[in-house]
A and B are shown apart, each in its own frame.
Chain A
């Protein structure tokens, strides 16, 4: 343990805050599970990737990994609850291919991962990247780079929120393509925002940026490009995020060479990151890029970003108990998002007033936005003074939060699930066999022994059919467990 903490001291603060997250919900890790095992294995072989994956792991999984690397085993917890959460995260490690389970149930660490992680841990985040740092005096980043970076990102969000002529021209074709493929927009000539698009707008900046990047990677896969080739430079750039913070004013002068040897997909990635505003390229012929503060978004473990102080400090929305909303902002983007679920009444130069009404909230709900999303958005964007007087939760009056939830509940009087119903079983055994099988597979929705009815969900139908085929073959009894296809 001590070895790892001394070799990577910069990670310590980020990890300790993430302790509470027993369930992972990291987009990057989820994405990693979906790519081909062969590609994943190649990623585990790269020191930078393995190091970055480690950073994105939830706290307990990190502990388990470290123990497995250095000791080859990890201690059992004596607490039932803790054991459960450890098991969950061990499961995660197995899925990611970082750990393997031997036939006797013993856990071992992946050899490739072990080697590359140790290599990375010895060298540190900055030195494992193959990007070449160039400190110089001629090429300056310019003063308002940070502002420009934020504008770039806002441009993309504005395209989604207010698809007007002017905003459409401001984003690249790839981004438009990406949003369409991700199902955020629909329609060819006149684009319209979809449910998923709305939900995207309400996410925190960290989640938004990750969603965007993951969708980009998915797009690359669908084009048939080699995913590892694209992920590696991406991760190397993200790993440099600490430099932005540490370097401070020096970041002005620190730039990285753009290697001419890079393949087309890698250059595309760079262009894309430029569009996102996470890197800054003054002129293409300079052959160098600078880092911006936005890069830290990508370096943050998303599971812990909900409490981020940065958001709390720039909130601009005040909600009163009488459902009035005051937004002290002139940002069209912010106003557009607020207008999704409020009825705007007055608009002044630097503030706007609106009402949260049943109609306006229902309109948002009909677009597929959930009450929880609205509430978390209002809380995340609450004015610092509201947070100071009533805390991070009550900065949105409880009455308002409750009412928004009630408005959602009144629309949800019935819950519909596509399903298959099975009736007229030949025997009790058959009925119980199907029920037991469906229960084991977690596809059972409803069953009743008196009426002898079984309902399984849509995906389960095929499984039950297979089960029937097998049980017919294996002389009626189901428990035989022969997997002869």
Chain B
């Protein structure tokens, strides 16, 4: 019998995919969320985690970015 699961398809570049792996393995969002590793640019993840993941990613990207407007 065929299995069906609801979730979210993530399309990203390979580098970003690694970041998602890291978040998944280190359980920074409280639990694992990757359902399937599809290929280099696609992942299938849990739907419930999306809002938390988005804010976490935003925060990480923000930390990595140098202040661009401090010379004003």
Residues of A at under 8 Å CB distance from B? 355, 357-359, 410-411, 413-426, 430, 445-446, 448, 451, 453, 455, 461, 468
Contact = CB atoms under 8 A, between A and B. Distances in A.
B2 A422 contact: yes
B35 interface: yes
Given A426-B2, A448-B39, A416 B57 contact: no
Contact of A416 (B1, B10, B61, B68): B10
Given A413-B57, A416-B50, A455-B9, A421 B4 contact: yes
Contacts of B3: 422-424
Given A358-B68, A414-B11, A422 B4 contact: yes
Contacts of A455: 9, 38, 44
B38 to A, nearest CB: 6
Contacts of A357: 68-69, 72
Interface string B60-72: 0100010011001
A415 B41 CA distance: 10
Given A413-B61, A414-B57, A416-B9, 16 more contacts: A355-B72, A358-B69, A411-B61, A413-B57, A414-B10, A415-B11, A416-B50, A418-B6, A418-B9, A419-B7, A420-B5, A421-B4, A421-B44, A424-B3, A451-B38, A468-B2
A425 B3 CA distance: 8
A418 B8 contact: yes
Contacts of B69: 355, 357-359
B8 to A, nearest CB: 5
Contacts of A355: 69, 72
**Which residue among A416, A418, A423, A451 has the maximum number of chain B CB atoms within 10 Å of its CB?**
A416
Interface of B: 1-13, 16, 20, 35-36, 38-39, 42, 44, 47, 50, 57-58, 61, 65, 68-69, 72
B44 to A, nearest CB: 5
Nearest to A447: B38
Contacts of A417: 8-9, 11
A101 to B, nearest CB: 36
A430 B36 contact: no
Contacts of A425: 2
Given A358-B68, A446-B42, A410 B7 contact: no
12 contacts: A357-B69, A359-B69, A411-B58, A415-B11, A418-B7, A419-B6, A419-B7, A420-B6, A420-B7, A430-B2, A445-B9, A455-B38
Nearest to B11: A415
Contacts of A419: 6-9, 44
B36 A421 contact: yes
A453 B38 contact: yes
Nearest to B20: A414
Given A421-B4, A423-B3, A413 B12 contact: yes
B13 A413 contact: yes
Contacts of A426: 1-2
Nearest to A417: B9
A166 B26 CA distance: 53
**Which residue among A410, A418, A425 has the maximum number of chain B CB atoms within 10 Å of its CB?**
A418
A12 B7 CA distance: 53
A430 B69 CA distance: 57
